[in-house]
Structure 1
Amino acid sequence: MTHTTEAVVAEVFGVPRRDVRVSLADDGGALGMAVSVPLPAPTLLQAARNPQAVEQGGGTLFERAENARSRIRAAASRVTGSEVGRIDIRLTGIHPPAERKLA
């Protein structure tokens, strides 16, 4: 079930599964999750080159984490068939988008 929930988290955050860690525990009969994941965000150089990338990021770090928590809860419940309880999210860094090469 750990790999399944890691895949859910990776999908929600838009990062590779290899960068996601999930620990599962009982949360009063529900599935508790401790998530460690990098946040997709442009590097400072990318942000300086393209300020719109920051504006399109989806809000503050807290807003993005809360939005992700709701989406993780729904998707994990759907694919595991378990009631999902507490989800703790630890942001471990940033996952910058790939730079597009000029032809």
Structure 2
Amino acid sequence: MPLPPVGVGERLLAGHTRISTQALTAVAKAASAEIFSVAPSAVRVSWADDAGSLALSVSSPMSSPPLSTVRGNPERVQRSGGSVVTRATEAKARIQTRVQELTGSRLSRVDIRISGLQATERGRVA
């Protein structure tokens, strides 16, 4: 997606600035990984044309307290950011904002697929 010309003093520089799909993908993976607290290698992203705009699809695991911990202390769900659905819904806007900030590209939408949960702390061994 071309970016508007950048002013240098009072003169505008002519030409095109393009961000490759590979660069957009790397930024989207890194932003998503940060938001879901997982490794970027665990995140998959793809791009689609949405009536001339960019649509981002993200498939990623999400960090979570171990289920054994949550079972013993249900308040941990709220302290970890809420339910999986709540956190995924909030992640959509955060990913969209972060990718737009970093790339200058405008996204029409972000689709999220949670592919699993990754425990963030070890449970006790019985």
Same fold (TM over 0.5): yes
Determine whether 1:39 maps to 2:62: yes
Q: Greater RCO between the two (CA within 8 Å, min separation 6)?
A: 1
Question: In structure 2, what residue type is equivalent to 1:66?
Answer: T
Partners of 2:26 and 2:92 in 1: how far apart?
17
> Identity over aligned residues, as a percent?
38
State whether structure 2 residue 112 is matched by structure 1 residue 89: yes
Highest CA radius of gyration, 1 or 2? 2
TM-score normalised over the length of structure 1: 0.84
TM-score, with normalisation over the residues of structure 2?
0.71
Q: Which has the higher helix share?
A: 1
Matched, 1:3 2:26: yes
Aligned residues between the structures: 101
Q: CA deviation at 1:6?
A: 0.4
1:76 maps to what in 2?
99
Unaligned runs of 5+ in 1: none
Cα 1:63–1:48 shift into 2, 3 Å? closer
Aligned position for 2:47: 24
Moved over 6 A (4+): none
Q: Partners in 1 of 2:76 and 2:31 — Cα distance?
A: 24
Mind listing any 5+ residue stretches in structure 2 that lack a counterpart?
1-23
